[in-house]
């Protein structure tokens, strides 16, 4: 049996490791919502890897939309962090 290689675009999005749990959300609801809304697959690295990179796979248009949504969420989290430190 041959393995079929995916021809879908793969994009790595830099998201600070400390924000991953907020991206994932309670019981995975946040990341599931992003995947369903943008029709992509999102792989968040396990906590033992402590990587800042989240991998998004899907069609080019959908991957770009998911990237924008992830970066918007990071921006929101940064604002909350700044407000908490004021």
Residue 3 lies in a domain: no
Residue 29 lies in a domain: yes
Residues 6 or more apart whose CB falls under 8 angstroms from that of 20 comprise 44, 45, 47, 54
- Which residue range(s) make up the domain with 33? 10-84
pTM of the model: 0.84
Domain count, the chain: 1
Residue 60 lies in a domain: yes
- What's the pLDDT tens digit per position in 17-55? 999 999 999 999 999 999 999 999 999 999 999 999 999
- What's the pLDDT tens digit per position in 4-24? 455 788 999 999 999 999 999
Could you tell me the CATH number of the domain that includes residue 50? Answer: 3.30.1370.10
Residue 1 lies in a domain: no
3 pLDDT higher than 60: no
Residue 2 lies in a domain: no
The order of strands in the sheet holding 41-43 is: 10-14, 53-57, 41-43
Residue 58 lies in a domain: yes
Residue 55 lies in a domain: yes
Q: Which residue has the tokens 């990071």?
A: 74
């Amino acid at each position: 049996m041959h393995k079929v290689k995916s021809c879908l675009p793969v994009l790595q999005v830099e998201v600070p490791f400390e924000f991953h749990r907020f991206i994932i959300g309670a019981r995975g609801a946040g990341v599931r919502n992003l995947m369903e809304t943008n029709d992509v697959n999102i792989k968040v690295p396990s906590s033992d890897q402590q990587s800042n990179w989240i991998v998004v796979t899907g069609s080019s248009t959908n991957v770009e939309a998911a990237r924008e949504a992830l970066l918007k969420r990071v921006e929101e989290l940064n604002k909350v962090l700044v407000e908490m430190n004021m």
